[in-house]
Amino acid sequence: MFACAIALASGIRTVDGPVKEIQIQYQNECMRNTVGEKTIDRHERREKHRPEFNTLNVDRTDLDFCFWIGVTCRNGRIVCIAWNMSNHVSIQSLAWLPPSIERANITGKWIHTKLETHRLPKNIRHAIFSSCGLHGSLELRGLPVRLEELHLRENNFTGEICLTSLPPHMRIIDLERNKITRAFVSNDRLPGSLEEVDLFNTKGPRLVCLDGKKADPRIHLRERYIF
């Protein structure tokens, strides 16, 4: 696994076939670490009951995640994952999502882990991890540079957040119904593309504007939709 990562990172130049094979091997290792072996075992048991199983060449050494429900690939590279509570997939970690992913929509899956935002895929543009039991502190500095939307509502994040160094094309940050206590913001550093930051929860948070002005109106502390 680590040899694959080193080969990719070092930019080794060789023929297309071996490079693609290394990329797929690394992608598969990332997915194995994301879903865990128990999920893979359940998937394989279901596949064995399908009439076309023998033609799919499904085994533990040649597992093609592009055939999994909710997974979208482009030229063999995973670019989108969309899983919710109805999918029979357990999530073990979000730290190993394949680097080629551009959109991750994982909702209602009990992950119950901390979110290491600096380990999100470098190409990701839309990250949606709502109602997943994520907890702990939340670091919003150093997010992937291409990120445009970050949806983390109805988790258990606590403590303080900083809205002082967001990606240049960030549009939406949704942190409603977490336990954030304080949010630091610098109006002058908010990206021009920003549309809204939703921070509503029943006990706060307190908003601290670092440049001595009233906080930008794109940052919402109150619930906008009442049902």
pLDDT digits (tens, 9 = 90+) for 56-115: 333 444 578 999 999 999 999 999 999 999 888 999 999 999 999 999 999 999 998 999
Average pLDDT over residues 108-125: 95
- Residue environment code for 142-180, b if the CB has 16+ CB neighbours within 10 A, otherwise e: ebbebbbbbbbbbbebeeebbbeebbeebbbbbbbbbbb
Cα 48 to chain centroid, rounded: 30
> Percentage of the chain surpassing pLDDT 70?
82
Indicate the pLDDT class of residue 48, thresholds 50, 70 and 90: low
pLDDT above 60 (res 53):
no
Q: Three-state SS string across the chain, please?
A: CHHHHHHHHHCCCCCHHHHHHHHHHHHHHHHHHHHHHHHHHHHHHHHCCCCCHHHHCCCCCCCCHHHCCCEEEECCEEEEEEECCCCCCCCCCCCCCCCCCCEEEECCCCCCCECCHHHCCCCCCEEECCCCCCEECCCCCCCCCCCCEEECCCCEEEEEEEECCCCCCCCEEECCCCEEEEEEECHHHCCCCCCEEECCECCECEEEECCCCCCCCCEECCCCCCC
Interhelix angle 16-47/2-10, rounded to 10 degrees, is 140
pTM reported for the whole predicted model: 0.83
**pLDDT the model gives residue 55:** 38
Q: Are 88 and 69 in contact (CB under 8 A)?
A: no
**pLDDT the model gives residue 14:** 41
